Amino acid sequence: MAWVRLSEAEKVYIAHGVQEDLRQDGRSCEDYRCIEVETDVVSNTSGSARVKLGHTDILVGIKAEMGTPKLERPHEGCVEFFVDCSANAAPEFEGRGGEELGTEIANTLYRMFNNESSLDLKALCISQAEHCWILYVDVLLLECGGNLFDAISIGVKAALFNTRIPKVRILEDEEGSKEIELSDDPYDCIRLNVENVPCIITLSKIGHRHVVDATLQEEACTLASLLVSVTSKGLLTGMKKVGKGSLDPESIFEMIETGKRVGKAVHVSLQEILNKEESLGKQRQKVGFLG
Amino acid sequence: MAGLELLSDQGYRLDGRKAVELRKIQARMGVFAQADGSAYIEQGNTKALAVVYGPHEIRGSRSKALHDRAVVNCQYSMATFSTGERKRRPHGDRKSSEMTLHLKQTFEAAILTQLYPRSQIDIYVQILQADGGNYCACVNAATLAIMDAGIPMRDYVCACSTGFIEDTPLVDLCYVEEAAGGPQLALALLPKSEQIALLEMNSRLHEDHLEKVLDAASKACRDVYAVLDRVVRDHVQEVCTLLGE
């Protein structure tokens, strides 16, 4: 990652600013940077989204492929996460350099989605114990400017919202052999319910206060951060402490409260944007990377 | 290929193009702020992103440094969702390694590496969506990114693929045309001096036809040059206007 090195004086400057609830770019402690979200940017995927949060740039592509359900969950499809920290984001990621961070992010995503309510996996089952849809959620990191986890989770939610899985039917003939029939109409497809899909909110402890959506500079003087994954209703589906420093229990509770409050607001504005984009339909001018 | 007419009697291809017609090219320079240079290109449905870091000190072992010129370091990767069927690894497979090598060769021929002894230039390209002509899109994107980084080059490097079907050269092949398995020629050209930076041919082609195909390919490369030149000039004009010059 494009790590930044800060001098002691710069760190003190940032910490004092945070103490006064005024950050380098004029935000207050609970403000996000401007988030740009665009869905349906890669046309050969089932669903895709691009998220730009400050200098952080994320592309998420979802492909639905047919496979067999897991033995212990025969009625459900599954979701696989993969995060590619490409060399585009930082030269250190060249070759296998990005694998460590990629696995860490993917595992966090697995943990956040590892509950009954996040996604209705039963809808992905085609025939019990035989066929199901496997959603490959592939995240591509194009540029990092701090707060990767939040941007990625927003991208995943937007891409899941955008995902369209073709409808299939199981035909059975007299001899009992089964055949899968794909619907002729390309618009005949399943949409996923993303109401309970969580978003990750990262709270970084700087000095005695915590901030959301830290920039690279702020991350450099963060003692420790707490990732909380919050649904639109304010439910917590996962939590993780990252960073070198330690946190006391009291501040963790404070951070969770902030996380819930901010998370709800993020969900509301994200849903608004997604609905607006959806309502434009085909008339929407696709911007992608050209804008 | 049975049942698929790549070139109709009227001279039109599957996507309605004429034999020597390119796909629509749209490009943008300076996509990212953190990299030294970056560019994005769309050639039809093929989308590529190139990022350039450098020239900077040699990273890793110093033994790689060349005393008289810069090391050009490339990495070609494809997003796992870029192809029709999902790819398992974005880079490191044999095809990507070969592509990496090709890009390195192409740009070593074009960049004035002797100006930066003992340093390194990183070129990273990423295919976001693959629909044929991946190598060519990467070369074109990387050319723009290198220019954005302000690294001096001999000339633009413009690349275009050409196929040969029913005695007609077809330029800028799409995925379906590539998959049909006919002869295919990838050409990277330095258009001003008409020097060839990279030439690669798959499958077999009669020697008598080679000149015809090569001519069509270099014509196509010059067409690509015209488009890229327009993009660069527009970009520079925009930047100058923003700087108030």
In this predicted model, what pLDDT tens digit does every residue of B124-166 receive, in sequence order?
999 999 999 999 999 999 999 999 999 999 999 999 999 998 8
Residue A272 is part of which domain span?
A: 14-280
> Would strands A47-53 and A56-67 be described as parallel, antiparallel, or unpaired?
antiparallel
Domain that includes residue B100, residue range: 25-243
Q: Do B75 and A59 touch (CB under 8 A)?
A: no
Does residue A141 fall inside a structural domain? yes
Q: What angle do CA B35, B86, A152 make, to 5 degrees?
A: 45
The number of residues making up chain A comes to: 291
Q: What is the pTM of this model?
A: 0.93
What pLDDT, in 10s, does the model give residues B24-51?
999 999 999 999 999 999 999 999 999 9
Residue B1: pLDDT band with limits 50, 70, 90: very low
- Whether B7 is in a domain gets the answer no
B19, part of any domain: no
Of A57, A82, A91, the CB nearest to B32: A57
B2 band by pLDDT with thresholds 50, 70 and 90 = low
CATH of the domain at A228: 3.30.230.70
Domain contains A37: yes
Sequence-ordered strand ranges (E) for chain B: 25-29, 37-43, 46-57, 71-78, 119-129, 158-165, 168-171, 184-190, 195-202
- For residue B75, give the nearest of A44, A57, A87 by CB distance: A87
Side chain identity at residue A282, one-letter code: K
CB contact under 8 A, A138 and B53: no
Say if B42 falls within a structural domain.
Answer: yes
Domains identified in chain A, total number: 1
For chain B, the domain total comes to 1
- Residue B172 falls inside a structural domain: yes
Does residue A1 lie in a domain region? no
Residues 6+ apart with CB under 8 A from A229: A112, A153, A198, A199, A200, A201, A236, A237, A238, A239
Q: Has residue A100 been placed in a domain?
A: yes
User: ∠A285-B177-B38 over CA atoms, to 5°?
Assistant: 45
What is the CATH number for B49?
A: 3.30.230.70
Residue B20 lies in a domain: no
- A135 near B CB under 8 A: no
A82's enclosing H/E stretch is strand A78-85
Whether residue B39 is contained in a domain is answered as yes
Mean pLDDT of A3-9: 86
Instruction: Check residue B54 and give left, alpha or beta (phi > 0: left; psi -120 to 50: alpha).
Output: left
Which DSSP symbol is given to A180?
Answer: E
Which residues, 6 or more positions from B9, have their beta carbon under 8 angstroms from its beta carbon? Answer: none
Q: Spell out the alpha helix ranges (H) of B36-187.
A: 94-110, 134-149, 175-179
Tell me if B55 is assigned to some domain.
yes
What is the C-alpha separation between B165 and B234, in angstroms, rounded? 36
The verdict on residue B2 lying in a domain is no
Helix, strand, coil content of chain A in percent (nearest 5): 30, 30, 40
Q: Which amino acid appears at position B45 of this protein?
A: N
Residues of B in contact with A134 (CB under 8 A): none
pLDDT at A116 over 90: no
Whether A4 is covered by a domain: the verdict is: no
Q: How confident is the model at residue A2 (pLDDT cuts 50, 70, 90)?
A: low
Domain membership flag for residue A8: no
